[in-house]
Amino acid sequence: MSQTALITGASTGIGYELAKCCAADGMDLILVARNQKRLEEVAAELQAAHQIKAEVIAADLSQPKAAADIFKKLGADRAVDILINNAGFGTSGKFAELPLQGEIDMIEVNVTSLVRLSHLLLPGMLARKSGRIMNVASTAAFQPGPLMANYYASKAYVLSFSEALYEEVRKDGVSVTAFCPGATETPFFDRAKMDNVRLRNGSVMAADKAARIGYRGMLRGKVIVIPGLLNRMLAFSVRITPRAIIRKITGFLNDQPG
């Protein structure tokens, strides 16, 4: 019987590319995001290309009841073999000047909905002694990020939570992977109003390449996957560099030149 993968944020960017990876391996899909029309296009494309079943659940994960609603729609007997918590967004600017509701919504999407979906779907995986959870963090998880303070903190949570969960369930047939891409070419930067920041003008990986590396790492049951040598070196360098210097460099990269 084919496996089923539930992917949040599957309408664009990394989530869309991860959905393609799963479909190419013959997995049935449950695609979640807000944009129902776009999700239906993705479902139709992947069903036609790979002879799989793809279901669409339109949901706004900033709403606290969204995860429970998704779980209810799945039905009690529905097994989700792979949960990919990918939906997320960033805001940029000085924290005090950003609207509070946007910051709360970001924690809800990037962190709380991921915790809720993991808590709802993990028991089934443990009962079946098989399953995989991939939580999309970021290289932002490894250090504080001035001018994106709340976003970086949300990703640090995802990394810490995923690593801890990995240890809790690794002997029970379930793997948990924190996928930590660096800058990746997706609508993310435009949505975060980061048109001209230095970070974006550096090395940016194609979304399909990043997703393929993350997907392979997840299937191998790796706990942390960082795509790209430069990103791995940056993640390592923060361990041996004084925090004060790291904070300054990250704030510089998150700012616009001039």
Do 43 and 56 form a contact (C-beta atoms < 8 A)? yes
Report, in Å, the least distance between residue 129 CB and ligand NAP.
Answer: 29
- Tell me, residue by residue from 104 to 123, as one string, x for binding to ligand NAP by CB under 6 A and - for no binding: -----x--------------
Report, in Å, the least distance between residue 2 CB and ligand NAP.
Answer: 23
CA 25-26-32 angle, 5° bins: 95
Using the rule CB under 6 A, which residue among 112, 118, 138, 150 binds ligand NAP?
138
Catalytic, 72? Answer: no
Residues 41-100, interacting with ligand NAP (CB under 6 A): 59-62, 86-89
- Tell me, residue by residue from 150 to 189, as one string, x for binding to ligand NAP by CB under 6 A and - for no binding: -------------------------------x-xx-xxx-
Q: Which of 16, 20, 155, 166 is catalytic?
A: 155
Q: Please enumerate in sequence order all residues whose Cβ is within 8 A of that of 103, keeping only pairs 6 or more positions apart, or say none.
A: 91, 95, 150
Which is closer to ligand NAP, CB of 102 or CB of 173? 102
Report, in Å, the least distance between residue 92 CB and ligand NAP.
Answer: 12
Q: Which of 16, 20, 151, 157 is catalytic?
A: 151
Which is closer to ligand NAP, CB of 33 or CB of 246? 33
Residue 9 touching ligand NAP (CB under 6 A): yes
Catalytic, 151? Answer: yes
Which is closer to ligand NAP, CB of 40 or CB of 172? 40
- Distance set, CA 232 to CA 129, 142, 203 (Å): 31, 11, 13
Alpha carbons 240 and 233: distance in angstroms, whole number: 11
Quickly tell me which residue has 């793809």 as its tokens. Answer: 54
Sign of CA dihedral 141, 157, 187, 253: negative
Q: Please enumerate in sequence order all residues whose Cβ is within 8 A of that of 155, keeping only pairs 6 or more positions apart, or say none.
A: 110, 137, 138, 140, 141, 180
Do 177 and 162 form a contact (C-beta atoms < 8 A)? yes
**Radius of gyration for the chain, computed over Cα atoms and rounded to the nearest angstrom:** 18
Residues that bind ligand NAP (CB under 6 A): 9-15, 33-35, 38, 59-62, 86-89, 109, 136, 138, 181, 183-184, 186-188, 191
Catalytic residue set = 151, 155
